[in-house]
Chain A
Amino acid sequence: MEFWVFFTAKPLFWLIITIVVFVCSVALNKRAGGSPLLHPVLVALSLIIVFLLLTKTSYETYFEGAQFIHFLLGPATVALAVPLYDHFERVRQMWLPLLVSCLVGAITAIVTVLAVGMFFDLPVGALLSLAPKSVTSPIAIGIAEKIGGFPSLAAGLVLITGAMGCLLAPMLFTFLKVDDDAVKGFSMGLAAHGFGTASAFEISALAGAFSGLAMGMTGLLTAFILPVVVSMFGLI
């Protein structure tokens, strides 16, 4: 018992737990055929939460170890500039339709989620965490932190949005008779960030490239637009 107390008090233990659980979750997801419903991040964080609740460990204690991983989100966000730069030539050739579609799509994502959320009388903290849900997690976490939402809730909601986008998109492509892979990819990256990009690559390399581009552009634009939209709704 004393050994246990000593061991868990060390931040190293929680760092190791996080890595081990994540590695196992990735293996589990591979076995399940890569289903977005069993996404490794969703599985890993559910398992860790259950483990923390069972061992009566506080989030603060866990975070003492996990903060070393969390810290890398900052540089990883900066690193998103590299894939965005790779698409620079493509953007330069057709910047107007891409920029306008991205702006309209990003604003639609924020306004609709806030409107439905306010219709259901969600508390302000939940609304501010919902607002960046279409944006890739590192940026969404940063935005939620900045505007006064709950970063962890935002991270979870982003994941659920991604899974929903991947399930909805193929149906809409059939329904709206979309046959251009570039358009398919762009809409998936815009509405469903990294999840969308991963499944766009399954359509074709072109769809994947446009999806990655949309993910980067949406993240960047949303970071600047979102505070304005949220204050128009009177939330901050």
Chain B
Amino acid sequence: MLYGFLMLLVCQLLGELIVVAGDIPVPGPVMGMVLLLLALVLLKKPPQSVRGVSEGLLAHLGFLYVPAGVGLMLHLEMISEYWLAILAALFVSTLITLVVTLLMFKLFGRLKRKRGEN
């Protein structure tokens, strides 16, 4: 278990270092995620300790972003001024994103069928 946690932290640290050294506009932990993914592909199978710690953390993912979410209290003024525009932007964007993604798969499905006919 401890070994798994160490592995996550080391990946995160390396990720942060790469991001800073390369001046890459990507969050350090995301770069750490790429490193861990590469390591898992090379290892062919995630070590049990890494899987245990990861699944434990991910099972409580919602809880982990409560402290950040409480920070909304710093933006109450802006939210009360712009809430309608923000909701409209979220709604329109979520709707279009879903439709576009579904249509992409329809397109691929049609391509596949055509190839099958030939």
Q: Identify the A interface with B (CB < 8 A).
A: 18-19, 22, 39-41, 44-45, 48-49, 52-53, 59, 62-63, 66-67, 69-70, 72-85, 88, 97, 100-101, 104-105, 108-109, 112-113, 116-117, 120-123, 125-126, 130, 133-134, 136-139, 141-143, 145-147, 150-153, 155-157, 159-161, 164-165, 168-169, 172-173, 176, 178, 180, 183, 186-188, 190-192, 194, 219-220, 223-224, 227
Contact = CB atoms under 8 A, between A and B. Distances in A.
Contacts of B72: 45, 49, 152-153, 155-156
Secondary structure at the A interface, as helix, strand, loop or mixed, is: helix
A220 B34 contact: yes
B85 A105 contact: no
Contacts of B109: 180
B66 A74 contact: no
A72 B9 CA distance: 10
Interface of B: 5, 8-9, 11-12, 15, 25-30, 32-37, 40-41, 46, 50-51, 53-55, 57-58, 61-75, 78-79, 82, 85-106, 108-109
Nearest to A111: B93
Contacts of A80: 33, 58
Contacts of B90: 113, 130, 133, 157, 160-161, 164
A163 B89 CA distance: 14
Contacts of A19: 63
22 contacts: A49-B70, A52-B70, A67-B67, A73-B68, A74-B32, A79-B55, A81-B33, A84-B33, A85-B46, A101-B105, A108-B93, A108-B97, A108-B101, A138-B29, A151-B71, A155-B68, A156-B69, A161-B93, A164-B90, A172-B95, A183-B105, A219-B30
B31 to A, nearest CB: 8
A75 B82 CA distance: 34
Contacts of A152: 68-72, 74-75
Given A59-B73, A78-B8, A153-B75, 9 more contacts: A19-B63, A62-B70, A77-B32, A78-B35, A105-B100, A117-B85, A133-B93, A141-B65, A224-B26
